[in-house]
Chains A and B, each alone.
Chain A
């Protein structure tokens, strides 16, 4: 009996939660025109193409308005830049770089907010390193610094006679 009561209470709570989730989902849909950059930095291009000319860049947490989408590309405007971005750089969650208590409670559901720097982060990496002094990160840091620019890529493709399928937008 006691158990039944508990189950009934849990069910009721679950129904209330489900209703709340539906309401939350509706809000997210209405606000879907705003997205956040979810990578350290990402290029913004003049055309929706892998070979589109790079006109600027946006950084982690930057918020953009989505003006138009075309396949995996979104036309974005925000932080003083506008152009096309690949959707892999974007999240529908609002990314909060410095979190306050109130936002953190919402973020726990994982649906609307994402907190930058939480979870597996540099503190965890430092803790790991302290416990594994034999694991060396020197070359990991070194390889991360090798960054090839869009212009270098263009030259590389051209010099090698490699012609991308999707159009000559440059």
Chain B
């Protein structure tokens, strides 16, 4: 973990390989860089052409990341989460979480990601939940303890699906990092990557993972992103047929369990009260959750294993 957090300050521009001393704005960089590279014989005219094209590609930032690349970023972000939190090795519990979660994801505005949505319980009393880009979602035992019924648990999962749908993780990657990565891609996309390009790309990859995990696990997303994720959660719950009051019920319970100064949702999310206030604007005054007996029974059976 530490090793990554100290991570690699990247050469701001991958074009260092073309002998450029310092970074400039991408627009001029692509023009000048291509010229220099061709003139100095570092790049063929054809490569110079694709360096120029890199300039137009980088303007698009995180949207230029394909679902396939998002998938690879998400796998490593997920592995980093599990380096810090132990997974709960219980098949029945994880299966229940996946049936519920994957069903909910079908009702989101982004039901299809490259590798699909997958869920796992983390064996910790911390009140925490993380979603890696592409749909790997981790929920702590402590968080599940904040849920008294399936509708509340559905709300937790739907909030995390919201972060995936809106690509909040990818947006935590710094612009300069994205620029480096996209430049390497644009200049070298024809060939399979050789040693140097692969090393540079891996550096950009590591940096991207650090940007995402430090935002997700330490600093938290912006208030605006959290509000968006709650709003996406309400939409998912309403479409699927769960009671969106589940979100308010869960937050009310969470309020009792969060310890001030804790390294969990107390640190990375707005206070439950302020979230409840915003959600109430979307769903109207809180009403009690009525769970059919069969729904409550299966929830309790699964939660009992967690």
Contacts and interface: CB of A to CB of B under 8 A. Distances in A.
Interface of A: 10, 13, 17, 21, 38-40, 42, 50, 60, 72, 86, 88-89, 91, 99, 101, 104-105, 107-111, 114-125, 127-128, 131-132, 134-137, 139-140, 143-144, 146-148, 152-153, 156-157, 159-166
A2 to B, nearest CB: 14
A120 B185 CA distance: 9
Nearest to A121: B72
Given A39-B115, A131-B206, A153-B102, 6 more contacts: A72-B109, A110-B56, A119-B181, A120-B205, A135-B83, A139-B87
A124 B205 contact: yes
Identify the 9 closest CB pairs spanning chains A and B, nearest first: A104-B190, A89-B112, A161-B292, A160-B295, A108-B50, A108-B53, A110-B57, A120-B69, A127-B202
Interface stretch (B15-23, B92-100, B265-273): B92-100
24 contacts: A10-B28, A60-B68, A88-B110, A88-B111, A91-B66, A105-B49, A105-B53, A105-B190, A110-B56, A115-B189, A118-B189, A123-B193, A123-B198, A127-B198, A137-B75, A144-B115, A144-B116, A159-B298, A160-B294, A160-B298, A161-B295, A164-B107, A164-B239, A165-B241
Contacts of B182: 110
Interface in B4-54: 4, 28, 31, 46, 49-50, 52-54
Interface size class of B (residues with CB under 8 A): 35 or more
A165 B80 contact: no
Where chain B touches its partner, the secondary structure class is: helix
A143 B72 contact: no
A129 B198 CA distance: 13
A117 B68 CA distance: 7
Interface in B101-121: 102-103, 106-107, 109-116, 118-120
Contacts of A111: 56
B242 interface: yes
Nearest to B102: A148
Interface of B: 3-4, 28, 31, 46, 49-50, 52-54, 56-57, 60, 64-69, 72-73, 75-76, 78-80, 82-83, 87, 94-95, 98-100, 102-103, 106-107, 109-116, 118-120, 136, 150, 181-182, 185-187, 189-193, 198-199, 201-202, 205-206, 208-209, 238-242, 292, 294-295, 298
B240 to A, nearest CB: 6
Contact of A153 (B99, B186, B199, B202): B99
A116 B69 CA distance: 9
A156 B185 CA distance: 43
B111 A50 contact: yes
B64 to A, nearest CB: 6
B293 to A, nearest CB: 9
Given A127-B199, A152-B99, A143 B120 contact: yes
A153 to B, nearest CB: 4
B241 A163 contact: yes
A44 to B, nearest CB: 11
A129 to B, nearest CB: 9
A166 B185 CA distance: 42
A121 B111 CA distance: 22
Contact of A161 (B28, B60, B294): B294
Nearest to B290: A161
B185 A119 contact: yes
Nearest to A159: B294
Interface-centre pick from B57, B189, B241, B292 (highest chain A CB count, 10 A): B189
Which of A50, A99, A140, A157 gathers most chain B CB within 10 Å? A140
Contacts of B107: 50, 164
Contacts of B69: 119-121
A101 B182 CA distance: 18
Contacts of A99: 189-190
B80 A110 contact: no
A137 B73 CA distance: 13
Given A135-B79, A139-B87, A128 B115 contact: no
